[in-house]
Amino acid sequence: MLDQAIAHYESGDRAAAKAVATSIADGSPERGDALNLLAVIAQDEGQQSEAERCARAAIATNTQNPIFLNTLGNGLLSQGRSDEAVSVLLEAHRAAPDQADILFNLANAQKQDGQLEDAIDSYYRVLALRPGHSGAYNNLALILKSTGDVESAAAILIEAVAHAPRSGELRFNLGNALHAAGRLSAAESAYRKTIELIPAHADAHVNLGVVLAEGGLKADAEKYFRKALTINPNFAPAYVGLADLVDDGNLDAVAHRRAVLALKPELPAIRSSLLMCMHYAPEATRDELFAEHKTFGAMHGNRVPRIAGIERDFSPDRKLRIGFVSGDFRFHAMLFFVPRVLEARDPASWEVYCYSTTTKTDGDTKVFRAAADKWRDVRSLTADGLADLIAQDGIDILIDLSGHAPNNRLLAFAAKPAPLQIAWGNYVDTRGLEAIDVLLGDPVHTPVEDDRYYVERVNRFAPDHICYRPPAYAPPVAAAPCLTKGCVTFGNFGEIAKIGPASIARWAAVLRAVPDSRFLLSGHFLAEGPQQGRIISMFMDEGIGTDRIIFQTGGSHAEFLGQYADVDIVLDTTPYSGGLSTCEALLMGVPVLTVAGERFCGRQAAAHLASGGFPEGVAQSANDLVATAQGLAGDFAALAELRKALRSRFLDSRLCDAPAFAADFYGALRAEWTALCAAKQQRS
């Protein structure tokens, strides 16, 4: 009967296979094998809870059976529970150390869980057990490429293609590695071979189009972008490629996204990207930003069906489950703001689930994972699949940390999988969705008079809506460089996207007011000549010569922080203010000067300075900022004394007080939950 059930399954008749396996599972000696088959069938049908139940029942019949453990591990991995999957698949591998398929599944779980070194080792051991294993080659190359070692990734894939010359996916990934390495001709050949092997490979058509466009062959590129759209009419990268063809360097980021949306207005990822870009654009007004957020909500707020029939215990004082959804559980600004808050919770009152949509996990992913009670790697889940998982997990309060940043899952929030949904963290504005109830803000970022710009109700729960954790590897505060150099060095270490004409004009006004001063910029993107040239050109437009501009190229984060030793005063960016960079400057003893902008994103430095021990750094106007900079630059001794005191003032400030922040944060969540419970009881 078991053979019959397996034969039905292999022929594609899952219903017949399930019927026979169910009858076997009712007490026969092959009960474990039948339950395992039922688990596999349930996985195929997307019934993850049933699959897990059957797999665990199979394991109960034989706790060391590697096949049963492998089935459970794969099921956990498909649910995003990569940490649990690694544990189970390690057991399966120990029980069957020579089974290449089990070891490959373990490697996949390690890769998804961010254990990259272990995954690399496991993939190499798979290749030792089964030379030519395409999946191991492919995934090994993807890890190497994600860590920046594109040449090694290409070499691995060239070896893989020798074993499997008819594999289109290997050719495609080889093309990606070669493209990343700047080998355009070889990448073009790889993509063309992919299309020959898999004619309906939309990604290969788009990537070939990108390579051709970079080589100046725009007419040929357009042909491949349009071919991708015949394969998949909703394929966003193809529309992006077509829009790029009309950009000869004149389209700015906002205009580019609008060009894509003119071709395909219903693409949520492009509309989110437009919103991100508008925050960096000085010409975008607050009213325009809000209107665009409302458009996103109107177009996509009902794209995923609402989760129906969720039952929750609306008791105000019970232990609650909080879910955090983010695409940035990695080395990112959130690393210095979020884990500390998770760790400071009362475990008797709160259970934390993290839903990671992070596509490029790294060594710091484990910091977030360790801070959570439950970890869910959900990067491969659709919006409705994620909403279903959140509902199954019984999340009471769901918190979005990404907003419209890449890899967000706002469409899952639109399905309302949790009774209370909150916006907090990385994104600096409303999400635009009626399904999100509350935005956590503060009096500086989100003043009361701005409530009309938020779809959510704003809860100003603390003096600053974030709490900063300094890295243990931060170097000591250096002496003020003006003492040895004889002049003041202004600077900015913010992200390159924030450095535009508006910021340069403000900085140039300070440099003109302090004639002997210089300006230093640091960041790894500044290693690129075109980026330096763009910044120099903007300074020259303001009458500032190249002899006053200094570039440094970052390095490791500790080295990057150490470069504050060469800066006396940081000048903030506009219209998008410095968030993490403001905290880092204060940590390194460097005063920051800013003017609070009109938007949430333009007030980050103002909020962090007010809460971080240096409120005098907040100027009332651009002219006031110039005057403040002149005053600081005119007294080297006072500047040096301020530098000695600033780190202590910062670390003792409210911005770094994790217990106080946690009390406010979890107090706000409890108050919101209590209010929801009262509203539910009133309605009932």
Please tell me the distance from the alpha carbon of residue 553 to that of residue 223, in angstroms, as a whole number: 39
Return the bridge partners of 500, or none: none
Please tell me the distance from the alpha carbon of residue 214 to that of residue 196, in angstroms, as a whole number: 22
What is the set of domains in the chain, with CATH numbers?
199-284 (1.25.40.10), 285-467+663-684 (3.40.50.11380), 482-656 (3.40.50.2000)
pLDDT value of residue 30: 75
- Among candidate residues 523, 520, 526, the one with its CA nearest the CA of residue 490: 520
pLDDT value of residue 247: 60
DSSP state of 221: H
Please tell me the distance from the alpha carbon of residue 453 to that of residue 599, in angstroms, as a whole number: 10
Residue 352 has φ and ψ, to the nearest 5°, of: -105, 130
pLDDT value of residue 251: 60
pLDDT value of residue 340: 95
pLDDT value of residue 181: 85
Please tell me the distance from the alpha carbon of residue 11 to that of residue 595, in angstroms, as a whole number: 69
**Other C-beta atoms lying within 10 Å of the C-beta of residue 606:** 23
- Among candidate residues 286, 271, 613, the one with its CA nearest the CA of residue 428: 286
Burial class (CB in 10 A: 0-12, 13-18, 19+), 166: exposed
User: Which residue type, as a one-letter code, is found at position 606?
Assistant: A
- What is the per-residue DSSP string for 492-553? E---GGG-SHHHHHHHHHHHHHSTT-EEEEE-GGGGSHHHHHHHHHHHHHTT--GGGEEEE-
pLDDT value of residue 350: 98
Residue 40 has φ and ψ, to the nearest 5°, of: -65, -45
Consecutive H or E run containing 457 = strand 457-460
Please tell me the distance from the alpha carbon of residue 449 to that of residue 451, in angstroms, as a whole number: 6
Low-confidence residues in the chain, pLDDT < 70: 246-251, 309, 684
Consecutive H or E run containing 323 = strand 320-326
